[in-house]
Amino acid sequence: MTTHIHHDIPKLERVTNSDGSRLYKTPSGAAYPSVTTITGLHKKQAIMEWRKRVGEEKANAISSKAAKRGTAIHKVCEDFLNNEFVEPHLVDVPMWNSLVPLLSRIDNVHCLETPLYSDHLKVAGTVDCIAEFDGKVSVIDFKTSGRVKTRDDIHDYFMQCAAYAVAFEERTGVPVSRLVILMGIDDHPASLFIEKRDDWIDGFIGLREQYLQWKGV
């Protein structure tokens, strides 16, 4: 049974700009871009080139399939950590079976699909999970992939988690220095990546400054 630790963290209102970008409104009335919007800058050019290479129709089909798979895996990971019945037949069963041993190393859950914001970074978003992984409080992100990825492929994931670590400490006073990525992969065992927040937060801050110059928020 996974233990949960309660924190009084306010809910955030999502608003959408005229250009389609998503903002979160904080209790003070400030409107911040999402963490994933900021980290998306890191791969924006590469994604545009990929879409051009494979064609819009194929790119949309691949993206849609990946989004549905990711949403399904997130749901069963949440159910597992909420001590609820998991229906693995709703997802890729080998992928799910490969993730279970990693999920079993999580306990003392502080956040699960929880909205967070940082007045220091001026960003907000919804974190997958903050909990103890092997006994150490960590920001934990659940990812899926159609292929095996290396550390160099996922710098944006680490920056994303680093931002959530800062936001969580602001909201609760609980420091989080470790980042954990659990990645389910098609036709391959799940991957585990562990990084330090302080190795990635400066990269996120750099992207945040770029976004401010681009959008003015």
- Domain residue spans of the chain: 14-215
**182 burial type by CB count under 10 A (0-12 exposed, 13-18 middle, 19+ buried):** buried
Q: Which residues are 192's β-sheet partners?
A: 182
Task: For Cα atoms 212, 213, 217, give the angle at the middle one, nearest 5 degrees.
Answer: 30
Q: What percent of the chain has pLDDT over 70?
A: 88
At residue 45, the pLDDT reads 54
Q: Among the CATH numbers 3.90.320, 3.40.50, 1.10.3470, 1.20.120, which is that of 14-215?
A: 3.90.320
Mean pLDDT (the chain) is 90
pTM of the model: 0.91
Residue 121: is its pLDDT beyond 70? yes
Report pLDDT digits (tens) over 44-88.
555 555 455 657 665 555 556 666 777 899 999 999 999 999 887
Q: What percent of the chain has pLDDT over 90?
A: 73
- Measured CA to CA, the distance from residue 8 to residue 2 in angstroms comes to 19
